[in-house]
Structure 1
Amino acid sequence: MRARRAATVVLSSGLLIAASPFAATSAQAAPAVPTVSAKSAFMLDFASGKPVYKKGADTRRQMASTTKIVTAATVLTSPNLNLNRKITIKKTYTDYVVKKGGSSAQLKVGDVLTVRQLLSALMLPSGCDAAYALADAFGTGSNTTARTKSFIGSMNRKAAALGLKNTKYDSFDGISQAGQNYTSANDMALMTRHAFTSPVFREVVKATKYVAVATASNGKKRTYTWYNTNKLLGSYSGAVGVKTGTGTAAGPCLVFAATRNGKTYIGVALNGTDRFTDAAKLLDYGFKSTTAKTMQLRTLPAGAQQD
């Protein structure tokens, strides 16, 4: 929005000075710093890493399923990664989802899916079953318990390598085992910036829908259709990701990103009652736009996973 012609300009000191009509018309009004519902929030410029907004940015908080950003990043930076590697779904994974009441990609025991398919099952419907399958496949050890523990260790080493001081993982999907699965809004934004360097990650998280054709245990084909729980996609112009999360201790969480005119912002809203509006407000602040005022959230189909 361009400033209208004015006879005076108010300085931060409260003094008034005469203003040039030309300067007034060419200057752009600074956007107001937004108020958000999230207890912690942070946004950065993807290209430079420069912070744009902070609110309780270094406070440690549980992050629920936004943990899966790190799950995906750990898989995608594994040595000799083969996205076409086939993984068979075990009963252990599906039983875990039922026991924990976790979000699910509705994977079927005995079905065979590729790593690439499981990444979409992980990030769109927030499948804890997919998270378990990936952790088991990419961890090391002689049994499932050892392999998943190993994978979580890799997640923690990644956080340490990035210099994240307020982050720790005790799960591969955000269902904390002992309350030791936490991050800060600042740390989460830095981790997501790291994840965004992967073209595959960016491709996965920007999709509102993904259809996967898997091989069922009887050798026939099974089609899975997953919808992205991130309602900002398809609602906010330029939105390109990233991940929702909801938990009793964590509250509603959202990691988000958007690109306009070659500029990308990555943001985090932890424990917010209106996380999608929070994200839109913060992005508007960066882009100097007013999209949040008119944004209509995309609705998920009946029966789609919520997170």
Structure 2
Amino acid sequence: MRNRKARLTLCVGAIAVAAGFATPAHAQPTGPATALATVQAPADTTPAVYGRAAYLLDASTGKALLGRNADTRMPIASLTKTMTAYVVLQSAKPTDMVEITPEDVRYAVNGGGTSAYLRAGDRLPVKELLYGLMLPSGADAAHALARAYGPGVPGFVAKMNDTARRLGMTDTEYVNADGLPMPGGDGHSTARDQALLGVKALENPLLKQVTATRRHTVEQTADHRSYTWTNTNKLLGAPGALGLKTGFTRAAGFSLAFAGERDGRLLVGVLLGETVSSRRFDTARTLLEWGARQA
């Protein structure tokens, strides 16, 4: 058992989970997924959880309700964009305008990433770009924001890593603002670190609003065309669900950072390395219901 304290505005006390068996940081899941056991209660009282790593935190008390391989480093794909949004709002105002460049558009297309289908020459407020970043998981929006608030993407990535250290995310290293694979190697994080980030991100009212939005439309103005974005997070719609972020690459598998509010409690969870896309949302829904019943 490994204990570690993290200072969080919403959390008090120590967060403790079982480390589980070691897994190579960049190994891909192979074969059928196996259920993960909780560390807080007998296995027959907990829901089945699949994938390579899982973590569920009661952020209102700082108590870890479930964990397996919570400190194993692995790629996290587009969960990276939660840090991008968080860092942007450390210095940007929601009303700040960012002009989309051809480079931003090409980056998403050439990198094979998901896109918000931004158009070069459009000028959009930071608030709207956050919806483009978090709902359809736009790599073009990530590149535009990182370029504007680094300044430059390398400078922005340095800010992401500095922020991770400040938040106590000691097992996290970012290499870009979107989580796409890089020639020099992917970044990495852990289920525990991403839960810590989720708690901090949800302290920001705008980010909390964005991540809980199922569909968002931007009306056309003289500065930009109209856009409509649908959230990739199918957990939304469940009672109290706040969303957070989805992710997928071949190396990372299917990932999900999720949160929910129940009876005045904030639960934050992370699933990494799932092999079935839809199952992560069912698992998260079940974990939120189960977690709400834990003392």
Q: Would you call these one fold, judging by a TM-score over 0.5?
A: yes
How many Å apart are 1:214 and its aligned residue? 4.6
Tell me, in whole angstroms, the C-alpha distance in 1 between the residues paired with 2:254 and 2:220: 32
Q: Which has the larger radius of gyration?
A: 1
Q: Which runs of 5+ in 2 are unaligned?
A: 1-42
Q: CA deviation at 1:55?
A: 1.1
Q: How does 1:85-234 map to 2 (within 5 A)?
A: 85-140=96-151, 147-177=152-182, 178-215=184-221, 219=222, 222-234=225-237
1:39 to 1:130, Cα distance in 2 relative to 1, 3 A? same
| 1:117 Cα deviation after fit | 0.3
Letter matched to residue 229 of structure 2: W
Is 1:35 matched with 2:44? Answer: no
Contact 1:53 1:282 in 2 (8 A): no
Contact 1:111 1:214 in 2 (8 A): no
Which residue, 271, 274, 286 being the options, matches 1:272? 274
The residue type paired with residue 51 of structure 1 is: A
Percent of pairs with identical residues: 42
Corresponding residue of 2:255:
253
Query: 1:113, 1:214 within 8 Å by CA — same for their partners in 2?
Result: no
2-structure distance, mates of 1:42, 1:226: 29
Equivalents in 1 of 2:223, 2:282: separation in Å?
43
- How far apart in 2 are the matches of 1:167 and 1:220? 37
Please say if residues 167 and 187 of structure 1, whose CA atoms lie closer than 8 Å, have aligned partners that are also in contact: yes
- C-alpha offsets along residues 50-77 of structure 1, whole Å, 9 cap, x if unaligned? 2111011111110000100000010112
2:9 corresponds to which residue?
Answer: none
TM-score by length of 2: 0.81
Q: Distance in 2 between matches of 1:71 and 1:221?
A: 23
CA RMSD for the aligned pairs?
Answer: 1.8
Q: How far is 1:48 from its partner?
A: 2.3
- The aligned counterpart of 1:294 is none
Task: Supply the distance in 1 between the matched residues of 2:45 and 2:185 (Cα, whole angstroms).
Answer: 36
CA distance in structure 2 between the partners assigned to 1:35 and 1:253 by the alignment: 16
Q: Distance in 1 between matches of 2:116 and 2:265?
A: 33
Runs of 4+ in 1 over 3 A off after TM superposition: none
Which stretches in structure 1 are left out of the alignment for 5+ residues?
1-29, 141-146, 290-307
Counterpart position of 1:263:
265
